[in-house]
């Protein structure tokens, strides 16, 4: 197994950061989405466009995630599936999803979904993506690559 980065790319705000780290560390990246978008023409960067079916991108990523994968996603349920496959999982904010934290994240997600269903739009979503999130993500991705290259 060789190290690689799998990106849940449809709404990923850190694609440019992933490219920069991949080029510097020579780690291949696969960006998975339901719709085509431009990616740099580079041998380390691959774009995979899946059908627009429900969870098609998540399924593609989860089926290929393994101990040599770093998965970048904000999707808690996809993070859970990838952790179970042994992958390292990072949110675009740089927050790692871990086997110790994922249960609480899944439960919180379910509670918030129930609240939104009952109260409508009165419940806010996550904080807006900030410059500090980008910086934290870059540090977390670098650290994950260093750790996995040692294995």
| pLDDT at position 7 | 98
| DSSP state letter for 126 | S
Nearest to 77 by CA among 93, 55, 50: 55
H runs (alpha helix) in 29-91: 56-64, 76-84
| pLDDT at position 71 | 97
| pLDDT at position 54 | 83
Determine, yes or no, domain membership for 69.
yes
Q: For residue 9, what are the domain limits?
A: 4-98+128-150
Determine, yes or no, domain membership for 105.
no
| pLDDT at position 105 | 62
Q: How many domains does the chain have?
A: 1
* pLDDT, tens digit, 9 for 90 and up, residues 19-34: 999 999 999 999 999 9
Determine, yes or no, domain membership for 61.
yes
Determine, yes or no, domain membership for 109.
no
pLDDT: which is higher, 16 or 106: 16
* pLDDT, tens digit, 9 for 90 and up, residues 32-84: 999 999 999 999 999 999 998 888 999 999 999 999 999 999 998 899 999 99
3-state secondary structure of 15: helix
Determine, yes or no, domain membership for 23.
yes
CATH value at residue 51: 3.40.50
Q: How many CB atoms lie within 10 A of CB 146?
A: 10
* pLDDT, tens digit, 9 for 90 and up, residues 105-130: 655 655 656 665 666 665 566 678 88
């Amino acid at each position: 197994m060789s190290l690689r980065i799998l990106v849940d790319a449809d709404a990923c705000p850190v694609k440019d950061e992933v490219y920069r780290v991949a080029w510097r560390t020579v780690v291949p990246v696969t960006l998975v989405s339901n719709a085509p978008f431009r990616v740099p023409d580079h041998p380390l960067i691959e774009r995979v466009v899946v059908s627009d079916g429900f969870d098609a991108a998540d399924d593609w990523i989860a089926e290929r995630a393994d101990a040599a994968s770093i998965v970048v996603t904000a999707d808690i349920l996809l993070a859970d599936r990838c952790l179970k496959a042994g992958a390292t999982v990072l949110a675009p904010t740089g927050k790692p999803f871990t086997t110790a934290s994922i249960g609480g994240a899944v439960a919180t997600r379910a509670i918030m979904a129930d609240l939104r269903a009952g109260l409508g739009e009165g419940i806010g979503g996550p904080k807006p993506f900030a410059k500090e999130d980008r910086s934290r993500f870059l540090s977390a991705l670098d650290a994950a690559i260093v750790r996995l290259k040692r294995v």
